[in-house]
Amino acid sequence: MTDYRGLLAFGYIFLFLSIFSLIFDYKILYLDAVISFTLIISVFAIVYSIYKIRKEAREGL
C-alpha cells in the first residue's frame, strides 16, 4: 500500500503545480500542452492510487 501512497503524493504535488501554473499562465502554447499533460497524469495517478488503496483495504478485511 505504501507504493500507492507515494503515487498519490506524486499526483497531488503535480496537480498543485499544474493548477499554480495555470493561474499564472504565460500564454505560451507548448507550455499549455505540457501543463495539460501533467494535469492529466496527476489526476490519473490520484484516481488510480485511491482505487488501489481502497481495493487492498477491502481485501484485507
Cα separation, 5 vs 48, in Å, equals 11
Domain boundaries, the chain: 2-60
Query: Which residue, among 30, 31, 6, 29, has the nearest Cα to 20 in the 3D structure?
Result: 31
Cα separation, 48 vs 17, in Å, equals 19
pLDDT at 2: 65
Mean pLDDT by 10 residues, the chain (61 residues): 79 87 77 86 92 87 68
In the numeric block, the cell 495517478 is attached to 45
Helices 29-60, 2-23: axis angle to 10 degrees equals 150
